[in-house]
Chain A
């Protein structure tokens, strides 16, 4: 009945399996964790000395490094020793349930010894979602510093004549073409009116009516016959009259567009002016651009980071599945997996609590918790939240709160970050090529809030700093703009800005206002814009001058031709009116004649009756 050799062999195989598992699990698990983390972050995630304890189902590691995907020589976070206990039995269902996860000595933005990039990883700022990519691209457009850069490159007087000599002004050609198209249209109308010969036709009818001499008609029968003839003339000429009305209406409709066509000329001149500006590399510049150019990079990087976190969270969330539709032809021998989920079932992955402590980049001691990192929030009925805070001996305070809520139909992420009273001594303030690289001294505060609901984002970044002293020695101004900005910075000791972002892909608003906007704009205007505006005005005048003669010629021709045609149409209309009046008059005369002859007859009849009596 039993195979003794088989049972012994089986026991040996099982024992061997456990022995191998005991020795190989740690390295296998480390590789799996690194692969999974790397796939999520799209940059290297590295664990040091992962240890899995079979007896108490506990995992520990000595260090974790998560590479910053947008700067692969730095880590977004690095931890010290971490440990967590897993529930044993759920592992057999492929579920990882972690009660408490302890993370010690967490640090942010730490340097890496090796490059953490992975080959073939796409350089996405926000993780690849269409919505986040689109918002990010639009933000990038908003902060382009080309106008200020071009302005900074202006040297000496602008040579307008040489620009004009190479500028190919398009407006005259377009005006000539417009004139030609009108000429063709006028010809068409002239032909139509001439070939139809409305005047002659109407004149013929008029003379036909005029030839009826009412006074020569002596009998009622003749009057009735003539009325009939007039009615016939009227009905025969009805189609001609209708045709002239149609012609008039067509003409009015066709030439109503004339005004719009002539307005195009202004747009063509504007386009020529813009070409001249770009040829001369003269920027169009306004005050609302300043803040975006100076501080936009910093702000957009912040928004991109939060959008990236939201995108990753959304990518890995699970949703309840409705009753599965039958796959008509799944891959051969593979079938279709039917998933059963119900309220209160255990999720596939759930870290109930992460206890965090560590230091920020600027050495502020932080601690906090993250709750319910879970693959399916609906199964536990709670969203993911985290709150981390800390303060330094110098009085700086930092707080980060977050909410990832995927329980409803619309995903919602909310991040709030507040960093108060941080030292800006010897720091880089802003990633702008127009600001000094270093600040000697200063204190800053920043508040960021980003709320994303489905495909609608709302965000604010408020930054304020005071007691600023800039490191002027390190920054020799390279151009007029830098000179102006440095000059202003020397006079002020604070920089504040507020950036606001709100909207969806189709309707999107981004503003960034700083206390430097007006000051810098006015100074640029005073020192550079005078020259700039003078050059622009000269270009504008020259273009207008070159275009003016063509414009006048075209407008003159069009107006003259149009007036002539209008006159023709008006003449036809007047003739038609004349004909209509004539017909009516003739009809009235005939009716009168008929009444007159009838009275004469009655009177004659009465005379005869009297004579007979």
Chain B
């Protein structure tokens, strides 16, 4: 049941009216929010951006769920990367000192090894993930979707209540 819901959600998003760029930005934003600790200042900024701009929120939530799991696995590596950036990179010490004493920036918790490590890793992945995501949506829609349409499981999904609700919400959200 969970798998069906999961696939239903993924197929619904990919088949929605959102542009490949909007969906791809959703993947990117969800990736950043998923990899980094949720209660961080930059995630609040991302939420505001998602509300203001037409970024696919469903894909962002979907992506966030996936990347949260990945974040748990990579947690020790994020800690090491964050420690390296904050402590071992001597040339950055003055910058961090200044940041630490700048109002608001201090609230970002940039001095936490996990926040810094995961944010640095996710920022490094923004461009590749965006283009890969965009390409994936395009390829899916042009080549994969006609086949998927014929799958029995797809017909099951389409006839499921979840798909029905999701379609209604999508229509309501415009």
Contacts and interface: CB of A to CB of B under 8 A. Distances in A.
B120 to A, nearest CB: 13
A326 B83 contact: yes
B79 A336 contact: yes
A113 interface: no
Given A7-B52, A338-B83, A342-B97, A91 B103 contact: yes
Contacts of A334: 114
Contacts of A329: 76
Given A2-B53, A332-B72, A342-B97, A93 B82 contact: no
Interface in B107-160: 107, 109, 111-115, 117
For the complex, would chain B's binding face be called helix, strand, loop or mixed by DSSP majority? helix
A1 B54 contact: yes
Contacts of B97: 340, 342, 345
Given A3-B51, A326-B87, A330-B113, A335 B79 contact: yes
A93 B52 CA distance: 27
A335 B112 contact: yes
Nearest to A336: B113
Interface in B71-113: 71-72, 75-76, 78-80, 82-83, 86-87, 93, 96-97, 99-107, 109, 111-113
Contacts of A9: 51
B54 A335 contact: no
B103 A92 contact: yes
Contact of A10 (B52, B78, B107): B52
B48 A323 contact: no
A335 B78 contact: yes
Interface in B18-44: 37
A245 B105 CA distance: 88
Contacts of A337: 109, 111-113
Interface residues of A, number: 33
Contacts of A526: none
A10 B106 contact: no
A332 to B, nearest CB: 6
Nearest to B100: A340
Interface string A309-349: 00000000000000110110110111111111110011000
A91 B103 CA distance: 7
A243 to B, nearest CB: 73
B102 A10 contact: no
A162 B75 CA distance: 79
Q: Interface of chain A, helix or strand or loop or mixed?
A: loop
A10 B48 contact: yes
A17 interface: no
A6 interface: yes
A382 B66 CA distance: 52
Given A93-B104, A340-B100, A333 B71 contact: yes
B26 to A, nearest CB: 13
A514 B113 CA distance: 62
A94 interface: yes
A335 B114 contact: yes
Nearest to B173: A5
Contact of A339 (B53, B82, B102, B111): B111
Interface in A48-102: 89-95
A323 B79 contact: no
Given A333-B37, A333-B114, A338-B113, A92 B106 contact: yes
Nearest to B38: A333
A346 B109 CA distance: 18
B52 A338 contact: no
A342 B93 CA distance: 11
B52 A2 contact: yes
A6 B51 contact: yes
B107, B109, B112, B113 pick with most chain A CB within 10 angstroms: B113
Given A2-B53, A332-B72, A93 B101 contact: yes
Nearest to B78: A335
Nearest to B68: A333
A500 to B, nearest CB: 46
A203 to B, nearest CB: 88
A335 B52 contact: no
Contacts of A335: 37, 78-79, 82, 112-115, 117
Contacts of A91: 103
B104 A330 contact: no
A95 B86 CA distance: 21
A179 to B, nearest CB: 73
Contacts of A324: 87
A338 B111 CA distance: 5
A102 B151 CA distance: 77
Contacts of A92: 103-104, 106-107
Contacts of A336: 79, 83, 112-114
A332 B71 CA distance: 10
Interface in A338-374: 338-342, 345-346
Nearest to B110: A338
A340 B83 contact: no
A7 B117 CA distance: 32
Nearest to B71: A333
Contacts of B80: 326
A9 B51 CA distance: 9
Contacts of B71: 333
A338 B97 CA distance: 11
B115 A93 contact: no
Nearest to B101: A345
Contacts of B99: 340
A329 B79 CA distance: 9
Nearest to A342: B97
Contacts of B107: 92-94
Nearest to B95: A340
Given A93-B104, A334-B114, A339-B111, A323 B52 contact: no
Contacts of B37: 333, 335
Interface in A1-49: 1-3, 6-7, 9-10
Given A330-B79, A335-B113, A335-B114, A346 B101 contact: yes
A338 B96 CA distance: 10
Contact of B102 (A93, A323, A326): A93
Contacts of B86: 338
A326 B97 CA distance: 18
B163 to A, nearest CB: 24
11 contacts: A7-B52, A90-B103, A92-B106, A94-B107, A95-B103, A327-B79, A333-B75, A335-B115, A336-B79, A337-B111, A338-B113
Interface of B: 37, 48, 51-54, 71-72, 75-76, 78-80, 82-83, 86-87, 93, 96-97, 99-107, 109, 111-115, 117
Interface of A: 1-3, 6-7, 9-10, 89-95, 323-324, 326-327, 329-330, 332-342, 345-346
A-B pairs, top 10 by smallest CB distance, nearest first, are A335-B114, A92-B103, A93-B106, A6-B51, A340-B100, A335-B113, A92-B104, A89-B103, A338-B86, A93-B103
